[in-house]
Amino acid sequence: MEQRNKIISVFFFALLLFVVYQLLRIFSPFFQTFFWGAMLSFAFYPVYQFFKKLFKNETSAAFVTTAAIVLTVFPPTFVVFTNLLGQTLEFYKEVHGYVKGGGVESLLQTIQSYGWFQIVQEKVSTSDLSQGALSDLLLKATKMLANFATAQLASITKNVFLIPVNVLLIVFFLFFLIRDGEKIYRFIYELTPMEENDRKAVFSKINDVFSGVIRGQFFTSIMQGILAGLSFFFLHLPAPLFFGVATFFTSTIPITGASTVWVPCAAYLFLTHQTHKALILTLIGIFVISLSDNILKPIVIGKKTKIPVFLLFLGIFGGLRIYGVIGIFLGPVFITLFFALVKIYQERYQATHQD
């Protein structure tokens, strides 16, 4: 009888795993749209709770929240993305013309004219970073960006009929995830085969890191990107949207952060005798763009994530490389989940083994 029960159990779990695998294959084409719907529903869940209290009805509150997200998020995202690709191509053309027109040689001669740059110039001229090498480096870097932008434009043109379908799917997922998110969460929570304390700890960590990354890091990075883009725009500098998006990504880098973008730009302005613009950009960079990170992040994130900065950086950029844009969120989640499971192992299994 015991042998028969074991066979039944093995068959049941094998069948369950097979069905789950097939479901994952069936739903895999919709993974990205589902994920974006889930991210938006999580980010705007407090808005849904506000409308829920106001309307006293879950469906009405979910409908209004979804409509608000569609009107406030989708149009600006589309405009920014399409303009960004255009500015990237334009920026490549400008850099290409600058290099071919002898701009790099002229810049190095300007640097050489500064007395306090003599030592640096001597080291540069005797190293591999020659004028030709610097020109090639700039051309290769901007060409890579241009190729990426061209590929994205081609992809948009090729899939122009799929874009509305994907948007509709995101809206569909968004509505039901907002309305039934709590029930889905409880279902997954109860289904997870762990001890109650361990399960609570793991889900709490995941919730905290999502709050930290989505409502914290993501929000502060967007604000820094907007501030940088506006600064470049009002100073009449080229490709403000491009540098705004670059600031958004570099703001997650430990120590340097957003200054990775604005410091070299300010230095270039100084070297090309655009002193007023350089001074204004430096002041805005220090007291507005970079300082906003120190002000906003503690307010929005607090101490929720508790992930070391360098690990958060590696998680975001490693996830970005492996999973694409959604990796910005998945990377930190997997890191947090790893540490939560290690802690459970140390507290439960390692302690039991020592006893």
Please report, for residues 128, 198, 201, 205, 229, the alpha-carbon distance to residue 344 in angstroms, rounded to integers and kept in the order given.
51, 7, 9, 12, 44
Q: Spell out a b/e string for 322-336, using b for 16 or more CB atoms within 10 Å of the CB, else e.
A: ebeebbbbbbbbebb
Structure confidence by residue, pLDDT tens digits, 124-183: 554 444 555 555 655 566 566 556 556 655 555 555 567 788 889 999 999 999 999 889
What lies within 8 Å, CB to CB, of 323 at 6+ separation is 330, 331
Please report which residue ranges of the chain form alpha helices under DSSP H: 2-27, 31-43, 45-55, 58-100, 103-113, 118-126, 131-158, 162-191, 196-210, 218-234, 240-250, 259-271, 275-284, 291-300, 309-323, 327-344, 351-354
Q: Spell out a b/e string for 28-65, using b for 16 or more CB atoms within 10 Å of the CB, else e.
A: eeeebbbbbbbbbbbbbbeebeebbeeeeeeeebbbbb
Regarding pTM above 0.95, the answer is no
The predicted pLDDT at position 163 comes to 73
Q: Return the number of other C-beta atoms located less than 10 Å from residue 130's C-beta.
A: 13
**CA–centroid distance for 314 within its chain:** 12
Q: pLDDT by residue for the chain (355 residues), tens digit each?
A: 677 777 888 888 889 889 989 988 998 888 888 888 888 888 888 899 999 999 989 999 999 999 999 999 888 888 887 787 777 777 777 777 776 776 666 766 666 666 555 565 555 554 444 555 555 655 566 566 556 556 655 555 555 567 788 889 999 999 999 999 889 889 888 888 888 888 888 888 777 777 777 667 777 888 899 999 999 999 999 889 888 988 988 887 767 788 889 998 998 898 888 899 999 999 999 999 988 877 766 666 555 556 676 777 787 778 878 887 777 778 877 887 888 788 777 777 665 555 5
Structure confidence by residue, pLDDT tens digits, 251-281: 877 677 888 899 989 988 988 888 999 999 9
Q: Return the number of other C-beta atoms located less than 10 Å from residue 147's C-beta.
A: 13
Distance linking the first and last C-alpha atoms of the chain: 35
- What's the rounded Cα separation, in Å, for the pair 33 and 30? 5
